[in-house]
Structure 1
């Protein structure tokens, strides 16, 4: 009989020598991947990255999303692993960085960890990642997005099949975004007029801009985004010289989250106002419903040909912090379609309300043009005779690099083929200071609230919502979301869905009422009385963490915000 210890030793030895050798873990990124992503990269730089596998893992760069973000920044700073001279590293102080790419990589990894950039990468917050690398100006942001798309689409998206973590369905990177990123670069370099992309000959406009860029940079004139042209557009020389302009610098110095920004929608001029004079109301109800005491005697008319044309062209606008994912292939668990969670329980608001009465008459369709001249749509809520509360992303694209929208047309109570109250144009708008001051997607979603001032007092005919502050203890309050969803026919119809407040944070609330594109800016009101506004719908589920990934979001009305809104209305 073999003694127990010898039996154990025999078992261990045979398991070592007789079993199959353990298979090595597949690498997250390979040299072949890097050559495909950056075809003009130096081989020595490629090998330094591949040889740094253990160092990358030591710094927590061990998921597809973290690797994609890290490599996107490395590619942006080095022009696709071509040169460290343009990398932003302090080569003058430390010449070894220029000679030794492995030293430069170690420095980049130390910087990455020291600034906790993995956290921003885990949230897929591309703006925050770029700000942490480059500073508040976020120069090279468009290039970093283009690099991320290349890295994800050409190398890392399919790594899930090799056993890496499965979060591909929550990283909304579509092939079409590659073109959009290069359009943005061509615009920043002065070769592309964004308004030309809204015309029927947008393809020709893009081709002409590429030809002009190729001509000026001594490239073969193909009019196509060939490898050489992409390489030139992604070169750090295209953005390294740019700094925040004097206007941007002044704005950044003045802006903070609780300031307010007034936008002249005729000229695009921006004025920053301090919020120091705003006094928060301690009461629940700070504004009562208003308008005619009886149902208005509106005259129903058909929309003009111009309005009908705008409606036909309009597509929804989405906030950059919650981009639309490709959910047709890999929908998140429980999601039917964008903004719809579980069974779609939306129904036409005309089944519950008279289109000539509140809240139908006080809910408005907002049409406007983005910077590319494309017709876009949102929803809003009348809160005074000539004031509409909506989402900030329905007014301005966000951050100091963004721009206000234009050519606003506001139509209250539009239903099918009937315009019951006419329409108004917009004179000015106000947004939270944090919407422009934001240096991350988190800061954007916490400031997504704005107000449009109209050129007519149409609210005297339609009526307007009462407003009150929400308390964090009001989780469970039954609410209704009512707006102009873009996926239903007729387009000019309000659709509503009911739920309750699932979670409250200081500047964000969450619900699971079903929504769709076009519902951005829609009123969220108390279901018990159908007239008290407590928030503005802003976004659908997004990201990798709760409560974001399982709930739709809204900007709640707080005592501080009600004081600011009151000031907006008065001014």
Structure 2
């Protein structure tokens, strides 16, 4: 596989989703847990991103009436057999703890899913089961690393097995489905299985985001403690329907974000977001990628958590969103 290293020279800034890398000169080969890897070995062209950079694909609520409906099946009805197959898929969970309901179940169903950002939240189906993801531009989805590869073995799941549904709502698929062109993650996840590097991206064979819009995302060096946390996803106990939970950041770490949003397996890869007002990313902006439930001791035993969008994560995901073919 070919690997690349990204860098970003900024303090607190807004960040966009791609595949993570370590600090260093742009477009320079590198190794280490932040090295981005593509499922076909391609190099992702990397450019420096300054503090003042305003990504052209930051959060955007595209017009529902857009004619650019390039999903593979458009909005055609599925056969009963196709629906049964989707319902039967197992919800994928992180390897270190079942995603958890903490106290009373506070999840609320999103219905219909044709509102923003619900329609920019995607159901991911593939050979290993079902996950959640979220559009970051017209044809790129951010998700958990364990939704693109099992971790520790350096392997990806078969690209040809993926079907991605924006705004799926039970048996209804208002924006059809897209196949995957290429998968991305970092060596910290793919080769080492580190939970704080558990993120990835999927390049689609369609531009459905031009119809649905997409999420913004950001990074900041300052603490995230007590910021609101909203998670939209597709839980395994409520197949193919989208649910939302709310809380706040309970524990702040350099590469992890902890919260008590209620989640269940299948919500791996969901955005951890809130309505933000600030330079670079305002409105619907994600700060982390949900991946894990409770396990071990504190803070893991009392919170769910996800991979924080750091400057490095921002750089990588931006490179995939902007530069990957």
Counterpart mapping for 1:102-501 below 5 A: 255-264=31-40, 270=41, 279=48, 281-282=50-51, 286=55, 287-290=57-60, 292-293=62-63, 301-320=76-95, 322-324=96-98, 338-350=99-111, 354-370=112-128, 376-400=129-153, 402-406=155-159, 407-438=161-192, 444-488=194-238, 491-501=239-249
For residues 7-37 of structure 1, what are the alpha-carbon distances to aligned partners after superposition, in whole Å with 9 as ceiling and x for unaligned? Answer: xxxxxxxxxxxxxxxxxxxxxxxxxxxxxxx
Which is higher, the Rg of structure 1 or of structure 2?
1
Distance 1:346 1:364, change over 3 A: same
Residue 549 of structure 1 aligns to a residue in which SS?
coil
Q: Which residue of 2 aligns with 1:549?
A: 301
TM-score of the two chains, using structure 1 as the length reference: 0.46
For residues 432-463 of structure 1, what are the alpha-carbon distances to aligned partners after superposition, in whole Å with 9 as ceiling and x for unaligned? Answer: 2211231xx5xx10111111001111111111
Aligned counterparts of 2:52 and 2:188: Cα–Cα separation in 1: 25
RMSD after superposition: 2.6
Distance 1:392 1:534, change over 3 A: same
Aligned counterparts of 2:204 and 2:81: Cα–Cα separation in 1: 19
Residue 318 of structure 2 aligns to a residue in which SS?
helix
Alpha-carbon distance, 1:274 to partner: 8.8
For residues 282-301 of structure 1, what are the alpha-carbon distances to aligned partners after superposition, in whole Å with 9 as ceiling and x for unaligned? Answer: 35964522353455588865
TM-score of the two chains, using structure 2 as the length reference: 0.79
Aligned counterparts of 2:259 and 2:127: Cα–Cα separation in 1: 29
For residues 512-534 of structure 1, what are the alpha-carbon distances to aligned partners after superposition, in whole Å with 9 as ceiling and x for unaligned? Answer: 10000100001111146762122
Aligned counterparts of 2:224 and 2:257: Cα–Cα separation in 1: 10
Distance 1:254 1:558, change over 3 A: closer
Aligned counterparts of 1:293 and 1:402: Cα–Cα separation in 2: 38
What stretches of structure 1 of length at least 5 have no aligned partner?
Answer: 1-252, 265-269, 325-337, 371-375
1:509 aligns with 2:257: yes
Alpha-carbon distance, 1:415 to partner: 0.8
| Higher relative helix content | 1
Aligned counterparts of 1:388 and 1:520: Cα–Cα separation in 2: 13
Alpha-carbon distance, 1:482 to partner: 0.7
Residue 355 of structure 1 aligns to a residue in which SS?
coil
Deviates more, 1:424-433 or 1:309-318: 309-318
Alpha-carbon distance, 1:504 to partner: 1.7
Distance 1:284 1:477, change over 3 A: farther
Distance 1:279 1:546, change over 3 A: farther
Deviates more, 1:468-477 or 1:527-536: 527-536
Residue 565 of structure 1 aligns to a residue in which SS?
helix
1:565 aligns with 2:317: yes
Asked if structure 2 preserves the Cα contact closer than 8 Å seen for 1:387 and 1:454, the reply is: yes
Aligned counterparts of 2:307 and 2:220: Cα–Cα separation in 1: 10
Aligned counterparts of 1:392 and 1:401: Cα–Cα separation in 2: 11
Alpha-carbon distance, 1:474 to partner: 2.1
For residues 381-425 of structure 1, what are the alpha-carbon distances to aligned partners after superposition, in whole Å with 9 as ceiling and x for unaligned? Answer: 011111000001000011235443440000011112211011000
Distance 1:295 1:503, change over 3 A: farther
Aligned counterparts of 1:261 and 1:563: Cα–Cα separation in 2: 14
Alpha-carbon distance, 1:471 to partner: 3.9
**Which segments of structure 1 move beyond 6 Å, counting only runs of 4 or more?**
none
Residue 119 of structure 2 aligns to a residue in which SS?
coil
Alpha-carbon distance, 1:323 to partner: 4.2
Asked if structure 2 preserves the Cα contact closer than 8 Å seen for 1:280 and 1:561, the reply is: no
What stretches of structure 2 of length at least 5 have no aligned partner?
Answer: 1-28, 277-281
Aligned counterparts of 1:314 and 1:417: Cα–Cα separation in 2: 14
Q: RCO higher in 1 or 2 (8 Å CA, sep ≥ 6)? A: 2
